[in-house]
Amino acid sequence: MTETDKKLIAEAKRVREFAYCPYSNFAVGAAVLGESGTIYGGCNVENASYSMTNCAERTAIYKAISAGEQEILALAVVAQGIEPVSPCGACRQVIAEFRIPHILMANLADDVREMTLEEIIPGAFSKENLEQ
């Protein structure tokens, strides 16, 4: 694991503390590395209308994109659990949309699993599939 990977995981842990999760009590933090070298963190934000909840991974990705990043190089996600936490299907699709090549999944015990985009969502639906 690189020093950058360690920084991403540390930021994901830090922003996890800001999670708004009164319904699930499952706090999640995520961090992404933009092409500029900037790290953007995000946490999950729940809503009483549960489908309106936003996951930590999407929060971090959207923060990076809205700050002007054109490419995201890596993503880390952290939550409490026996195993490293895995992004949900919706987050995997957003990860695929922005072609994030390096994904780190971790828990608070510092267990880490590294995956590539192709490993986390093989055969992903993408805008390239729509081009003729």
What is the residue type of 35?
E
Tell me how far apart the alpha carbons of residues 57 and 86 are, in angstroms, rounded to a whole number: 10
φ/ψ (deg, to 5) at 119? -70, -40
Catalytic (active site) residue 57: yes
> Which member of 11, 46, 57, 69 is catalytic?
57
Residue 113 burial class via C-beta count within 10 angstroms: exposed 0-12, middle 13-18, buried 19 and up: middle
Q: Could you give the CA distance from residue 128 to residue 79 in angstroms, rounded to a whole number?
A: 32
91, amino acid identity = C
Q: How far apart are CA 20 and CA 34, in angstroms?
A: 25
Retrieve residue 55's tokens. Answer: 């996951």
Which residues are catalytic, by number? 57
